[in-house]
Structure 1
Amino acid sequence: MNRREFNKGLLATVANFALIDSLFAYNAFGNNIKPITDHWAIRLNEFCSDLKTASITTTQWQEQISELYDKIDLTEILKFIDFENLSKGFQYPELGVNTKPVKFPKLAGLPERTVFVKKVFGMKKDRAIIPHGHSNMASAHLILNGEMHLRHYEKIRQEDENLIIKPTIDKIAKIGDNSSISDEKDNVHWFVANTETAFTFDVIMLDLNNKPYDIHNLDIYEKQDLSDGTLRVPILDVENALKKYGKETHH
């Protein structure tokens, strides 16, 4: 090989390495921007928009959000919603739960006003998100802090001032666990804090089916067993429900 051929081969090799470097750089850059263009908050808003327009069913929405939460590092969510500041100086009520609105930081591709309501719910030990069912609503709940006794029931139907329900979930929910409700699945829920404090991040969709939402507080301790796996449970007003269920007395 003469000098000219050698130089020509060397230049070709350098060019190939430059191309490879460029491709690696592009892939690295692509990986770096993926969390922004495909951010979990953007995906969450897309799911909620699809539900609002009835492009997906509520059960599909529940499945999609659960799958999304299972893929996200919880520390990323805590940082994005600024949980440290939200929980700082939090006022814990003597009965029940308190809430604070969540504001997402500005993010390209995410509207300033999301189609869903977003809040953190916080309570101290033995306090509860009292047992209640829903109409024309869907919501998802992610445990951010603490541990809770979580119970869900399926709403079968309403009879006058009672709901007919069926137990579906009874478990201890820990940090990173999530659950959801809709008119179609696990409609009734009940959280009781087992630790000194406990928090959830809630995504709430209201007025689905072009109808106003409603909430039914339930007197589950006064349930009537219907012998077919279902329970007849009286509906309570908020004040009496909080008095009876806002603080666990270990029935």
Structure 2
Amino acid sequence: MKEPTKAGSGFWRSLRSGGVPSAIASVFGAPSAQQMAFIRSLSREQRRPEVLHYPMSRLETVVFDLETTGFHPQHGDEILSFGAVKLLGNEVQDEFYTLVNSKVSVPDNISALTGITQEMIDGAPSLIDGLHDFMAFAGRSVLIAHGTGHDKAFLNAALWKTSKIQLTHRILDTMMIARWLKPSLGSYGLDEVLEEANIPVTVRHHALEDAKMTAQLWQEYLRLMRHKQVDTLEDLYAHLSNF
């Protein structure tokens, strides 16, 4: 498996070499202006209708997780780290991880929970650097997370803060899929569904480790969905809408 992709990768450095109108660059600074232009370009045409008809075995997905300073982006909480795993069908292709410095202090209880300290954040890339490297990693893939409300809210807040756009990717929630596939489970937190699927818990509340475990959960659910005649993303949406 490849080493996790890092913020400031060669791919992103190559993007920074592109041209930006001087008027924009003079206002925002060249790196920020280019990052804004890039993330806006990624947001276009994310909901391509043809993706609905791809076989699940060919579907490009990025399973991701965020660690944050709290639960309320509308009240000033910010992203601390991004972790993600890219898959083609059920095969892992690549990994991504970065801390980010959103210029917000790390609460003591969050440091205790995540292991992320203020010193680590002070030396981390900026939010716009980490966010745009994550979005470059995600590309046009369908995004997957467990309990997507939290992660989507923080992504949207960060995208609006840095680039004045909203997330346009298709997003799947493994919690919702678990409720459909395992209706009698009772509790659908990540720990519970991992235990039910016999997936070993490595490190919880670490963005990359949680993303890797959720990716294993997605792989297991792909296997189960094949037995329910779920051949395409459209099939999955139809089942979830009926459920």
Task: Tell me whether the two structures share a fold, i.e. TM-score over 0.5.
Answer: no
Which is helix-richer, 1 or 2? 2
For normalisation by structure 2, the TM-score amounts to 0.29
Which is strand-richer, 1 or 2? 1
Pick 1 or 2: higher relative contact order, CA cutoff 8 A, min separation 6: 2
For normalisation by structure 1, the TM-score amounts to 0.28
Q: Larger radius of gyration, structure 1 or 2?
A: 1
